[in-house]
Chains A and B, each alone.
Chain A
């Protein structure tokens, strides 16, 4: 069958093209590398490793999406782009999972992320030595800098000529986005009045044509899947390129176990259409994000590894972190129309670094953030920061003013705590695997940071000429759970993502973060994946794995 679609034409595994015979798959007898999860990290790894000539298989639990027929300009029907399988949540602040912070299907979370593309700062890698909180990473900003450069160039990140915070001050590879939305304009003008620097956001969204893809049309549905293909996702960039270079992508295949032989891993078991298959590989890389990667490691326990794979430290599943992500909705005299344009087009990192006078450590990013009716109404109804609920005529009347609201959103650092963790529950899922139980409670520093940020967000709304009307309690992103470190007693993987316990088992992605930073994490996830790829290519050439 001829397929001219620029996204899927490299793929042999999508509707109408998939070989139903999984036994006839490309590397049935064994691959060099098997990557579990085709998200932000898995996509970069597949591309880099295939480019180096390695035989790569990527196994993805969800579908191989086609943006034209699977995505929609609609909130409710696109929640399925997330990992919706039930997880049990617990703790003083049980997390909202699913669409809030995960992806399912080729491209993973990048399919519905906002596209905000920030680097971590130097201080993020050394919070313990600088501020006495959290933990130092085994790497420094300089170790990641060339990979930030590489990824930003490779996907044509758009951004300002000058970025005033942190070690990288621009310019970005592609021109800054313009025009910006009314909400972003109001945010920048308000910041200016208050003496707060702001910028047009650096974005993994095209400002001009690139690689056969068009620039953004300000449709505004970044979080529902980009239909014009202007926003980067692994689905339309790294994965098709990797397939073109020889990688095989097995979608709708759920990995249920990592197989071991003595001290080494030999491959994985996966389920497709109720049938279990084995994929052998010299190296297995887990890139299944913060909940599924620990779940798989814990579930793959053997008599040799009774506490789960790579878990001699007991740190598998521990120290998971979301970002605190409160929203303040303010009502204005004029129309703002939060639905128009790329959701985040302006931000500030004025409050990013530790300031002792504030009474807490670390800091945050504030963004002007668009909102759509379902997201806004369900949040101001059922997720209010004061714990009350809004319904009936009060909700109806609030929403009649939908077009008159502006919104500011927090991305706040949450410090790692070992009791915030992923464990296995008693309850089983459809594959017979124990469901994940995710326990989370904010600590004192986290709550102080949120309070401070909410005050600043309200000031910004007021400087717009608005009145703060609804404060919503939310989180965004997930990080940690298999943290990297130099000490095998207190970390799961080394600085390259190689597990301390099993030399041919790697973990890559947000799960290896040591601290959360106060900025959107995808750029760092992809830079870490590119760094691991370089290391692994060398190691495999030297037969060191």
Chain B
């Protein structure tokens, strides 16, 4: 597995003038996210952003701010959640209780709020929630820990891999309308795509 980008000098955003207007607007907004939230309290936002940083293994503030904003928008939106398992509460309750549970487990195991713990202990708390090894009291009496973890992981990862900085890092060519991809066969790349030797 790679430890760093295969394409350190690639910047997908440099191509944005070639993109259609609608796509350009959508991606541009992710580069300068809001810090005001509609659903999350400031404390919840900090807890979420701290967890997100560990889930995607990244500490860059602009990317993490966008992730938190995306989750907040999802929670404030009246749009449905596609599906919800019987026995799992609505997304707003799941997040509100789940974020509370993060702090409760942190305090029970390590005697501090989640955001204040050292990284090792934060990872320990997340692993407990991921595997459901939490005390079934407080928040975890209201919402299933594993379901919360899975939902948060899905939402956070979806936002992270929607950010153009991350597209550049993994060498994703991204939006290609109206010009399309011309050289699609094995071993061929279009002139503007990411190249390993950086040329």
B123 near A392: Cβ-Cβ < 8 Å: yes
B170 near A84: Cβ-Cβ < 8 Å: no
Q: Which residues of chain B are near A181, meaning CB under 8 Å?
A: 184-185
Query: Which residues of chain A in 96-128 are interfacial with respect to chain B, using CB atoms and an 8 Å cutoff?
Result: 96-100
A contact residues, total (Cβ < 8 Å): 72
Most interface-central of A179, A336, A430 (chain B CB within 10 A): A179
Cβ of A151 < 8 Å from any Cβ of B?
no
Q: Which residues of chain A are near B154, meaning CB under 8 Å?
A: 378, 381-382
Cβ of B157 < 8 Å from any Cβ of A?
yes
A373 near B167: Cβ-Cβ < 8 Å: yes
B177 near A218: Cβ-Cβ < 8 Å: no
Q: Is the interface of B mostly helix, strand, loop or mixed?
A: loop
Cβ of B172 < 8 Å from any Cβ of A?
yes
Q: Which residues of A contact B (CB under 8 A)?
A: 68-77, 80, 82-90, 94-100, 179-182, 185-186, 217-221, 227-228, 334-337, 339-341, 372-374, 376-378, 381-382, 389, 391-403, 430, 437-438
Report the minimum CB–CB distance from A422 to chain B (whole Å): 12
Cβ of B17 < 8 Å from any Cβ of A?
no
Q: Which residues of chain B are near A70, meaning CB under 8 Å?
A: 22
Our pick among B5, B83, B173 for the contact of A86 (Cβ within 8 Å) is B83
Task: Pull 16 A–B residue pairs with CB atoms less than 8 Å apart, ordered by A.
Answer: A68-B20, A71-B22, A84-B79, A87-B84, A98-B83, A217-B177, A227-B20, A341-B184, A374-B162, A377-B160, A382-B157, A391-B54, A391-B157, A392-B123, A401-B6, A402-B170
Cβ of B44 < 8 Å from any Cβ of A?
no
A95 near B153: Cβ-Cβ < 8 Å: no
Report the minimum CB–CB distance from B177 to chain A (whole Å): 5
Report the minimum CB–CB distance from A96 to chain B (whole Å): 6
Our pick among A77, A97, A381, A397 for the contact of B2 (Cβ within 8 Å) is A397
State the total of A-B contacts with C-beta under 8 angstroms: 205
Report the minimum CB–CB distance from B63 to chain A (whole Å): 12
Q: Which residues of chain A are near B4, meaning CB under 8 Å?
A: 400
Q: Which residues of chain A are near B197, meaning CB under 8 Å?
A: none
Interface string of B176-199 (1 = CB under 8 A from A): 111111101111110001101000
Most interface-central of A94, A219, A391 (chain B CB within 10 A): A391
Q: Which residues of chain B are near A179, meaning CB under 8 Å?
A: 184-185
B166 near A373: Cβ-Cβ < 8 Å: yes
Interface string of B120-140 (1 = CB under 8 A from A): 000100100010000000000
B188 nearest in chain A by CB position:
A182
- Using known A-B contacts A403-B6, A403-B171, determine if residue A219 contacts B177 with beta carbons closer than 8 Å: yes
Report the minimum CB–CB distance from A452 to chain B (whole Å): 28
Most interface-central of B5, B161, B167 (chain A CB within 10 A): B161
A391 near B160: Cβ-Cβ < 8 Å: no
Q: Which residues of chain A are near B19, meaning CB under 8 Å?
A: 73
A438 near B83: Cβ-Cβ < 8 Å: yes
Interface string of B55-81 (1 = CB under 8 A from A): 111100000000000100000001111
A400 near B2: Cβ-Cβ < 8 Å: yes
Our pick among A73, A84, A437 for the contact of B176 (Cβ within 8 Å) is A73
- Using known A-B contacts A73-B19, A84-B81, A396-B56, determine if residue A401 contacts B186 with beta carbons closer than 8 Å: no
Report the minimum CB–CB distance from B24 to chain A (whole Å): 9
- Using known A-B contacts A72-B22, A74-B162, determine if residue A186 contacts B186 with beta carbons closer than 8 Å: yes
Our pick among A88, A219, A339, A403 for the contact of B84 (Cβ within 8 Å) is A88
| A74 CA / B26 CA spacing, docked (Å) | 8
Q: Which residues of chain B are near A85, meaning CB under 8 Å?
A: 80
B23 near A72: Cβ-Cβ < 8 Å: yes
Given contact pairs A217-B180, A392-B55, A395-B55, a sample of 16 additional A-B residue pairs in the complex whose CB atoms are under 8 Å apart: A75-B158, A76-B162, A86-B90, A88-B83, A179-B184, A218-B176, A219-B176, A228-B180, A334-B187, A337-B173, A372-B172, A373-B161, A374-B161, A377-B161, A391-B56, A437-B86
B56 near A395: Cβ-Cβ < 8 Å: yes
- Using known A-B contacts A378-B154, A389-B153, determine if residue A89 contacts B56 with beta carbons closer than 8 Å: no
Report the minimum CB–CB distance from A80 to chain B (whole Å): 7
Our pick among A87, A334, A335, A382 for the contact of B82 (Cβ within 8 Å) is A87
Cβ of B148 < 8 Å from any Cβ of A?
no
| A179 CA / B190 CA spacing, docked (Å) | 14
B26 near A72: Cβ-Cβ < 8 Å: yes
Report the minimum CB–CB distance from A181 to chain B (whole Å): 5
Cβ of B175 < 8 Å from any Cβ of A?
yes
| A76 CA / B176 CA spacing, docked (Å) | 16
Report the minimum CB–CB distance from B14 to chain A (whole Å): 16
A74 near B79: Cβ-Cβ < 8 Å: no
